[in-house]
Every structure is written in C-alpha cells, then in structure tokens.
Structure 1
Amino acid sequence: MFSKTYAKISSINSIVDEINKKGNSFFDDEMLIVYPENLKCINFTCFEGAFFHVISGLYLKYIDNKKSQENLKYLLEKTDIYGISPDINLRSHIKTIQTLRTFFQHDILKENKNNRSTKRKTYEWFQNQCGNDLPITENDWKLSLNSILDESSQFFLAILDCVMQISNDEEKKFILENWTTSLFPFSVHDVSEIVSEIFEEKGIEGVNSFNYTKKNYQKFIRELKIYEEPSSENLKRIINSATADLIM
C-alpha cells in the first residue's frame, strides 16, 4: 500500500544527497547545503501518520535547521537569476510546510489574527488536494501526502539544478564567496573592529587592521564555520590565533 510513498521518499533523499555532494565539491571543508538527515521510510500504518512524518522532516530541512534555511534562502535567489522555473512556486512550497506544521503542532484554537490566517491557509490547501477543509478518509490523507512529496521533489530538483548552474558558471568563485559571506553573521567592518581591538591589546603596530581583515576575511569565515555557534567570542579566538605570528 505504501510502496509508491516509499519510492517518492527515497527519490527525495537521493536528490538531497546529490545536492550535498555538490556542496562538498564546492568548498575545501565539508559543506552540507541541506540538513542531511533522511526522510525515513518507516513502517507506516496509515497515510495520516506518514503525512505528519513527512511534514516534520521537511520543516527541519527548510526552516528549523538554520544553516539549511540560510543556504536555501541564498539558492532560491539564484534560481530567479538562472531562470529556473518549475511547475510549483518554490517559496510558496516552503510557506505551505510551515503553515501545515504550525496548524498540526501548535495550539491555534485561540482566536487571533495569526491563528485565523493559519487555519484559513490550511483549509484552502487541503480543499485543493482532497476537496475537504481537513482530510476525512485515508484516501484524503494519501492525496495530500502525494501532493507534498511531489512538490518537495520538484523543489529539491530545482535546488539541484541551481547548484549545477553555479558549478558551470564562469563567475563560480565570486558566487561561492558571496554565498559563504551571506552565511557569515559578521561584515568585513565588524571583523575589522575586532581585529583592531586585538591589535591594540597585543601591541601590534605597522599593520593596517582593515587591509589585514580584507586579506583574511574568507579564511576567518571558513574557520568560524567549524564552530556550532558563530559567536564573536569564537571569532576572537580565531583572530587571536591568526595574529600570533604578527607579535614581534
């Protein structure tokens, strides 16, 4: 009964693996573009349970994991530039997952503007899939699940197309630098201020802090990615280590 569902989930997992393999080839260190945990092909007993499982897994990939969220945000902008236009609206698909997850996992019984909007959008979406405000039969859940899986497959195929376009782009190096910079919470000027403070603390003279920062900015980005938390304290540790050889 679930063989087609398992096949669709396996296909999505394979596409995500291909996206992450390309990410590894882009950068010297490991770069997982999409949160790598697979949508699991567990032994479903009903399509309703499978639906909730898939929504939770996609929410983790699209929104809950911040690195994955930021990578996808950057790549969605690139899909516009490359003219990648699947049959679905990619951003609307993410919003649908967010709405459905909110509807089923949060208390939306209280009457307020946000809850009314979430309920309205959820009912409209299910009406388009199964003809009811909410699924009633197993077939309703099956239709809704298949729609989500088909949309997700199109979404990740578009993202894979995008990373392949980047791979063949003449401006690939510039694009990848912009990409990593977009994930970095500190601007060149932010880092330059920290470098200037460290220079002063260490008594380093004769080195322009801003020029030093520009020269080493990409290196600092790569090293900060190793940390779970890209905090200013971890950035200071990296800069302190990098400037050790400047002390006379």
Structure 2
Amino acid sequence: MKYLLAQAKRVDIDPAEAEQFKHALGRLRTLFAHNLDPSTTRDRETRDTCYAWFKNACGSRVPSDDQWEQCLEVLLDSALRYLMLAIEITRAIEQHADSESLSNLWKDRLSRTDVVVNYLGSLQRAAGDLGCEGLNLPQVRDRYSKRWGEVLSLVPASVNIEEVTSRHMEQALIAETSRLLPITAADVMEHLVLQPGEAVEVALRLGQVIYSLHPDLNRDSLLESLGASWKQLQR
C-alpha cells in the first residue's frame, strides 16, 4: 500500500483521502492498544485526532454505547474506499505509458524486503569517518531504524545498498550532532546565506569540527568562526 500510494500522483490520482485514513487508523490503533499520557505532545495529538474522527463519524467526540456501531460502519466504509483506491492505482499503473519501469520499482521493493543491514556497525563506521564523539549510537539506531528500513526498501536492486546506507547514517549523525551544537541549521543558513541542501550539511560538519576544538564558543562566536572558515573554503 505504501508503494501504491507513493505512485498515485504519477498516475494522476489524488491519494489525500487514503493518506488521511491511514493516519487516522494508526492513531485509533494507538488509542486502543496503549495507555496514552496526556502530558506528552504526541499522545495529546493522538487523542485529539481520535476525538475529531469520532465526532466526524458519529457526531460525538466520546461515542456512547449505541454510537460505536456507527463508528464501525464508517471505519469499514473508509477501509473499503482505501482498498478500491489501491486497485484503481494498480490499474492505472497497468495502463500507464511507463508501466514497465513502475512495475520494476515494485520488484525492486520486493527484493529489498529481506535486506538485513547492521545499522549499529554502519553507524560506528560513519561516526569514525565524521569524527563524531559523545553520541549514544544504539539510541541513534533505535530512533532512526524504522525510517531507514522504509527508505532502504525502496532503493533499486541495481544501487549499491552500502553506499546509500552510509549516506543515511551520515545524515542522521549530523542531525544528532547538531542537537549538541549551540547553533542550528537555520542559524547556518541565515549566517552563511545558504539554501537548504548539501551545503548546509557540510557547513554543520565544519561547525562540529570547530566546536570540538573550541567547546567554550557560544552561539555568536561559533557562527563568526564558522563564517570565516567557510569563506576560506570558498576561495
């Protein structure tokens, strides 16, 4: 389903309703399967999403006993439309001028479903290459592993999976290291007049090196030092 929804716009189909249903279904599952903590932002958002869904389905944010069946009917109807949209996308791919390459993307996706990547080992190598210190790599792995699994499953079989994995490891480490710096990516873009992209990552790496050598620098001093070093690199 994730693959099909990702191809929807390529075949001129709007996946918005299906994406909304998928999100709501996930939140409903969380509401009924876990004990929510209203003091946390994510759990409050989950609760509010479910309350809004109940209100739309049966007219009440907290359904009464005789309203649950109405909620079930709405849920099943949405699930049916979700399934029918998937079938519609599949048929559109079949008839698309680029159907062969779109089908090959799916084959590549299947070929990646059993790929096992040693995330911790890859993280350790990437951390060594970047000179990252002080990070809890198992925590980084746990925080990003689901996202990496989804991304890597879409990588074509013809692509070097190790190179792609290393790239994602480096991006995660840079993001985590940035949390430890007194400057943010937004600070870097504003101070160096950069657009979002690879240049910002390079600048943050440079900021990381400077800060590791001079950990007493505050935000303004680090940006000033980074700006001077960045100008030298551009010569």
Query: Shorter-chain TM-score: what band?
Result: 0.3 to 0.5
TM-score scaled by structure 1?
A: 0.44
Q: Which has the higher contact order (CA 8 A, sep 6+)?
A: 1
